[in-house]
Structure 1
């Protein structure tokens, strides 16, 4: 941050000690009225990033360390955000100001990663960012402070920019976030959204896990295995666990089923091809509006017309009554196995 020295000598006043004063070079304070402060702060703002500025830069602009300290005390006009970093306002910092403060505090090359970066990429699942997580080069010796978590890395990524903020690439960012938590549902939600949004894919995520730190990677690896099987939501991940508990054959997820003439029948959440059994997770929230209910009835009619057995389950029962759901699936599988398999098949990729 460059710029001309702010000359404060024009403000003539007797030397007094006052919390709202500027300290001259001779160590005395100069009392300023609100209008004078507004003019000074307007000039200082030009040298800041969204009102965030390093205290050492303020000093080069003519604001002494003593004045900066006083203005960050109760009753002052500024706010101390991080060691050596000031916000030229008393209000709570915005998300962008927190990010700028963290980058300013890091001093060296740094990129935002983790949940904060995920939000800037437009991802909305996962925990709300509680701190600004930065990656810094391994040789840096700056330590975490306040709302800033600094992580030194030998695998420093090439930054991607969103609104002028340097970010770790999406695969690195989301994995840096989820490997710090132990909430399986939160890990599932963010990784599934990242893949479905097109920000990344399973191969990129798995490659990042293989080349980076191994700390906290067990849950992400588990979730990537679920996504490989076609899981698209936390509820579907729960369903996959229930299905395996039932001891049934490895299922297909979200595949298109056609009749013997190639006509579309449905795309069940879970499909057991061995016996022609469909399992649908029918949430009351999404399936029982007037139009959605009609579509559900039409789907079930198509299943019935070709002889497909179908089990319908509310997602809430997967956790509230898992044993009952396991029993229902086993019973449905046994009944489907006892009858002649319907003449349907999975549509092959690329066919119409």
Structure 2
């Protein structure tokens, strides 16, 4: 069977498709069992871990033998992996993490999800938040590393996009300031002659403990004052192009067209205010 993924540096994954249910109703494999089917190296073989099956809470079923039921008020739409109904990766991750106490094991699964191109960090964080897992100590220790890994992967895709599609080489990872004035904010790439900046929209939602309080963080663009910084740059004549990691992964050519169009449009705009560029 041909590899399901042709992206450079991404391991081959099993065939996946989302389609009509095929006789299994709303039941689907989840947790470590599902991750093993997706090809996660950090997940133990299904025979060693047993099989977790996600079912609606209203179903009158019970666990038996090596099959453990995971009950939920609602179930996502299953993906078909090798002919079996499997929960989406982010849901399978959340169900797997719920049963783990080792922070290294949690971190390994989360990082493999991003590094292997299975899903984006923001979708995983949303699912962990929905399951009220973000306040668990083993998850708290893993999430920051996971988000940093996701950011590094997105930056790598941005570098590849610029070089693959022949865009001019920008200044990478810089802070913009008014001469002698305050910092206007950091950007991931900047073309000073055209006054065009690219910023990765690598935001993750606020997260806290199971009770909704406790530890709360903002990642990347979610920090206070972010919108004001972007508006200030635009008023100064700097065009800010925001690219989503998913777009860089799945539609890099279209994203390159967006950036190239912004660079070409610079000739028709009023000159931007002079800004100082410093390494970030």
Task: Flag whether TM exceeds 0.5 (same fold).
Answer: no
Structure with higher RCO (Cα < 8 A, 6+ apart): 2
Q: Normalization by structure 2: what TM-score?
A: 0.42
| Larger strand proportion of the pair | 2
Larger radius of gyration: 1
Report the TM-score when normalising by structure 1: 0.34
